[in-house]
């Protein structure tokens, strides 16, 4: 049985994963007809219901960082999850990215210790499910991008890497999903630019809804 989640409703085979519990509520209201809270243990809010086209979908918060995300994904797999899309935030490294830009992740370079649990040394790359990633790219009309994932705030990714942004859990989620036999992909919102400009709360909500809709239809 799961060690962390205590769901009061069945977990769907498909899920949208977010770090922030508040964003889980936002996307549950946006994507589900009559959403119902299915988990509140440890503050990891989760919701279940059906999309407008009648598909069962779980929306689950994962907390901050790779260790928390990996534990939540492991619990979800025990509850029947088979495919998931992370909708998260990232800090831009490339000066070409603007606040609010969306990134469909084609690779995530491990820069933190939690990835080592899945045989990824610092600098190793984890990849998403290709089918889900292709669908996300089509829905959002975006080319996939490479990111770096840190367990803690860090200044620079591994030298020489063609990385456009950094986050705190995508590499670990990809590696954990592979170990569990799950299809996992990710779309990230640029929350902070390379120059330090931050997206407004209203714009972040709009970007999250757009990314969430793409994730739900891709699943």
CATH code at 22? 3.40.50.1580
In-domain check, residue 60: yes
Residue 140 has pLDDT above 90, yes or no: yes
In-domain check, residue 134: yes
Distances in whole angstroms, Cα of residue 182 to Cα of each of 13, 16, 33, 120, 179: 10, 13, 26, 17, 8
8-17, 116-125, 148-157: range with lowest mean pLDDT:
148-157
Range of the domain at 200: 14-218
What is the average pLDDT across 114-119? 76
Output DSSP code: residue 124.
-
In-domain check, residue 5: no
Report the domain count for the chain: 1
Q: Work out the number of other CB atoms within 10 angstroms of the CB of residue 31.
A: 23
Question: Mind spelling out the 3-state secondary structure of 143-197?
Answer: CCEEEEECCCCCCCCCCCCCCCEEECCHHHHHHHHHHHCCEEEEEEEEEECCCCC
pTM confidence score = 0.93
In-domain check, residue 70: yes
pLDDT tens column, 42-53: 778 999 999 999
Distance between CA atoms of 166 and 38, rounded to whole angstroms?
Answer: 30
In-domain check, residue 6: no
Most confident of 26-40, 144-158, 202-216: 202-216
In-domain check, residue 8: no
pLDDT tens column, 154-183: 556 665 568 999 999 999 999 999 999 999
Distance between CA atoms of 127 and 171, rounded to whole angstroms?
Answer: 8
In-domain check, residue 1: no
In-domain check, residue 28: yes
């Amino acid at each position: 049985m799961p060690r962390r989640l205590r769901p009061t409703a069945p977990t769907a085979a498909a899920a949208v994963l977010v770090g922030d519990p508040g964003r889980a509520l936002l996307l549950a209201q946006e994507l589900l007809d009559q959403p119902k809270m299915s988990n509140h243990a440890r503050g990891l809010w989760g919701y279940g219901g059906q999309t407008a086209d009648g598909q069962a979908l779980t929306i689950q918060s994962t907390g901050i960082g790779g260790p928390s995300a990996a534990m939540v994904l492991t619990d979800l797999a025990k509850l029947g999850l088979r495919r998931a899309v992370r909708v998260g935030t990232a800090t831009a490294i490339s000066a070409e990215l603007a606040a609010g830009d969306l990134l469909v992740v084609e690779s995530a370079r491990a820069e933190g210790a939690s990835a080592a649990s899945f045989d990824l040394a610092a600098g190793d790359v984890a990849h998403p499910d290709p089918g889900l990633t292709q669908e996300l790219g089509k829905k959002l009309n975006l080319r996939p991008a490479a990111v770096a994932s840190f367990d803690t705030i860090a200044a620079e990714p591994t030298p020489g890497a063609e990385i456009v942004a950094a986050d705190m859990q995508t590499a670990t989620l990809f590696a954990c999903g592979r170990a569990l036999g799950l299809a996992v992909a990710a779309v990230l919102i640029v929350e902070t630019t390379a120059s330090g400009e931050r997206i407004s709360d209203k714009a972040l909500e709009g970007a999250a809804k757009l990314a969430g809709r793409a994730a739900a239809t891709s699943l």
